[in-house]
Structure 1
Amino acid sequence: TMILRDGMCPGLDEELVRELRAADIKTVEDLVSSDVEEVAQKCSVSYKALLAVRRVLLAQHTAFPVSGADLYEELLSSTAILSTGNPSLDKLLDSGVYTGEITELSGGPGSGKSQVCFGVAVHISHHLKQRVMYVDTTGGLSASRLLQMLQAESSNVEEQMEALQRIHIFHAFDIFSLLSYLYSLPATIQQVCVSVGGGSVKAVIVDSVSAIISPILGGKQNEGMSLMIQVAGVLRRIAKDFNVAALVTNHVTRGGGGGGGEVQAGLGLSWSHVPRTRILLERTESAGTGHCSVRSATLIKSSRQPCHIKEQFDLQWWSTSKEGSAAKRKLDDSDSR
């Protein structure tokens, strides 16, 4: 409830505030719900002037109803779908990662979570010409690896450098530095939008969210849980308010106690409600055939597609697809000559 004060709106001066208080009208709610004619007589003020003040306060402080259709139209106009650059993953994600939402990649060590994050960052920065805020919490991000991927996309050094400049990297090794960075992101995103180089921030990647959160969970205090909920809340707000796709990675655990249970995404039940979409990455059984970079991706949570659909993809996709086709084109050209 807003207390009436001098200068709150045109016409509401110190004298009128004093008169209204004497008539037991102390808040915006009091004035809006009162009989204006009666209050004007009590306070010996102009009915027209008081009515004008009431109208302005109503316009400033009332939550006007919005229809579901209007909300849906707003959603359609603001949501963008960003391709990951990999057809198999895009198929599982119903075309790609969606802005305004949190998408999670979960998997064990060596399942390819970071590689996929690198590939998505490179695709968004090079092909979509948009910016990516990349939070590395494990020290696993390598600029040379990003450059190698970009070299597979383009042989133009200037294009490679421009794409690298659109990937903004932050290293966070504890929960407090992660939270501090996330809370400062809105201002950074607004700054980046007006800076040179083109492109607005379209993705925030946190690899890995569990590396920082899982060590603080458990114990007698609930501090760890509270900090985890703060991370979830600020990520959600950034995704929605700035029309950004949030992509996070998580570890896996085995249910059933004995280690032989079903593979589950880590961080427990409270975190499971945070991502809108969840994909489980696993090594495939085809390692013996020489395709050690092949991974399987299973959709384990989605509001758009049936769960448990599975796709196989090659982690080398982002590093070799364009390079291979460029080499083939050169060969074809030389043959034709």
Structure 2
Amino acid sequence: MNRLHSQIHPLLTEEVVGTLHAKQVFTAADFIKAEAQQLVKTARLNFKEVLALKKFLTKNFAPTPVNGLNYYKSVLSNSAIIPTGINSVDHILNGGLFTGNVYEICGLPNSGKTQFSLSLMKNVVQNMQQQVYFFDTKSDFSAIKAKKLFSGHNQEHLQDYLSKVTVFRTYTRHELINGLYEVKNNLENDLKLRLIIIDSLPAVLFSSHDSSSNNSYLNHLVNLMRYISVEYQIVFLITNLVTTWSDGDFKKQQDHMEKIACGRYWFTVPNTRLKIEKTNKENMFKISVLRSDIVNRKSQDSVNIFLMDTGFVEQCK
């Protein structure tokens, strides 16, 4: 899963890495699995150099066996529940967001998905004193809006909170993947992190209409997210679109149907899917649990929350 880059080994120059990436050889695992003769042609290295690189990558990046009991104890000691900062939402989630899982917040355009993400970010940096990585694929992240979330705090506290937020501007698929590999490398170097937000996935996925390419990319992305979330006990929050489809013609439309974006492959990926939608009351939104394999479903699977300048709250004050 380690991304190939020029700092790994002297033979992996920028030119060689670029050539390998062009041939879909992105990771150490890709290089190890590839045929040596094909790598000689692709990377323009001689056979001896290719074998030396394979040996080096296998030694340094191949998986090592771990005792099952020790691994289980490690997961227990590192796992946590991250409160959303909204008691009613935490209640329907059995306490909050469980580390080691992928969560999705979906909704129609302009339904509050980004604002919910920012509210969660605020709670993590302010009340948990943890860092947050925010992948912004639509240029929706605003430092001015982020500052408003912490209104009422002095300048010292404001600087402390905002310094815990790292924003990645990622407009392409490769930028998102490379950014996640950068996070993974930082985690291997003892970065302390509990929450990664990707806002939003459709913005980078819909850059291509090739379903085969989309599924291949999603497979790579999902494997990387799951590895990071489980290995380092981190919560992923992904924002996704809900689209509305109608049968009929322009004069008469029937059977309005909502669909979750990103295709069938993605549909079962999130461990928990939340939906946010506006209500008829001003500044009031509805949060619902659509599906979950970690939350015990209750009679109440939805709650109303209110949007204030400082983010979402349980009730309007």
Q: Give me the TM-score of the superposition, normalised by structure 2.
A: 0.71
Partner of 1:246: 236
Pick the aligned partner of 1:213 from 198, 205, 218: 205
CA shift for structure 1 position 88: 2.4
CA contact (8 A) 1:85 1:318 kept: no
1:1-337 correspondence to structure 2 within 5 Å: 66=68, 73-152=73-152, 155-191=153-189, 193=191, 200-218=192-210, 222-254=212-244, 260-286=255-281, 291=282, 293-303=283-293, 304-306=295-297, 309-316=301-308, 318-319=310-311
Q: Distance in 2 between matches of 1:320 and 1:266?
A: 24
CA contact (8 A) 1:217 1:225 kept: no
CA contact (8 A) 2:115 2:311 kept: no
Output the amino acid matched with 2:221. V
CA shift for structure 1 position 65: 6.8
Output the amino acid matched with 2:140. G
Q: Distance in 1 between matches of 2:157 and 2:227?
A: 32
CA shift for structure 1 position 315: 2.1
Q: 1:75 to 1:264 in 2, by over 3 A?
A: farther
Q: 1:64 to 1:188 in 2, by over 3 A?
A: closer
Q: 1:264 to 1:125 in 2, by over 3 A?
A: same
Q: Distance in 1 between matches of 2:286 and 2:269?
A: 23
More helix by share: 1
Fraction of identical pairs, as percent: 23
Secondary structure of residue in 2 paired with 1:201: coil
Structure 2: 5+ residue stretches without partners: 1-62, 249-253
Partner of 1:328: none
CA shift for structure 1 position 183: 1.6
Q: 1:309 to 1:77 in 2, by over 3 A?
A: same
Aligned length: 247
RMSD of Structure 2 on Structure 1 (CA): 2.7
Structure 1: 5+ residue stretches without partners: 1-60, 194-199, 326-337
Higher-Rg member (1/2): 1
